[in-house]
Chains A and B, each alone.
Chain A
Amino acid sequence: EVQLVQSGAEVKKPGESLKISCKGSGYSFTSYWIGWVRQMPGKGLEWMGIIYPGDSDTRYSPSFQGQVTISADKSISTAYLQWSSLKASDTAMYYCASFGPGGWFDPWGQGTLVTVSS
């Protein structure tokens, strides 16, 4: 079974750094793109960026370029999303998902809730 399992919920203060993870299993992790999607409280889905774990080729949404860093460690089938200095506005649920060649996201991880509050 293809599965993406994300790291647990985080509570951080403004200005702190954070790295959340997404571990793939049941398929060739290096052969498929992984995407990250943000969902702010009560809001819709926003695409943040994608990475190809095979060679770490990374594409960012213009809205998130420079705000986050997406990376992957293919040796442990894990993709990451990180912030160097969190803001309260980063409070959201973050999902990873496998990104298919036709632009679809499937399957999805269970989500990681990030709360940034002083």
Chain B
Amino acid sequence: QSALTQPASVSGSPGQSITISCTGTSSDVGSYNLVSWYQQHPGKAPKLMIYEVSKRPSGVSNRFSGSKSGNTASLTISGLQAEDEADYYCCSYAGSSPLFGGGTKLTVL
């Protein structure tokens, strides 16, 4: 299985909104609503930000939201803040093997 496709980098200014895409196939992202998103700051462990496409774990800011259309899932961060600068990974679970995206580096200008 190939990794899910994410843009290598995205950037935005404080206060703006950005969207990170995660493209798979009808066998993974398109199959189930089991897409999760992770934030990873340098030297730190990943942190769950979104699960089951659009659900937010307790404690995660409502500036983070998720959606899916067909074989592409998306993570949107609104009201960008300096602390949002990090790597972001999507993950799809089609009932057998989790599959990660290649990761996207978010730069807050």
A positions within 8 Å CB-CB of B: 35, 37, 44-47, 59, 61-62, 95, 97, 99-100, 102-111
Contact = CB atoms under 8 A, between A and B. Distances in A.
- Give the residue among A95, A106, A107, A109 with the most B Cβ atoms within 10 A: A106
Interface of B: 1, 3, 34, 36, 38, 45-48, 51-52, 57, 89, 91-93, 96-103
25 contacts: A44-B3, A44-B100, A44-B101, A44-B103, A45-B100, A45-B103, A46-B100, A47-B98, A61-B97, A102-B36, A102-B52, A102-B93, A103-B34, A103-B98, A104-B34, A104-B48, A104-B91, A105-B36, A105-B91, A105-B98, A106-B57, A108-B45, A108-B47, A108-B48, A111-B45
A23 to B, nearest CB: 15
A62 to B, nearest CB: 8
A105 B50 CA distance: 10
Contacts of A107: 48
Contact of A103 (B45, B93, B103): B93
Query: Which 3 pairs of residues, A with B, have the shortest CB-CB distance?
Result: A103-B93, A106-B48, A104-B51
A37 B51 CA distance: 17
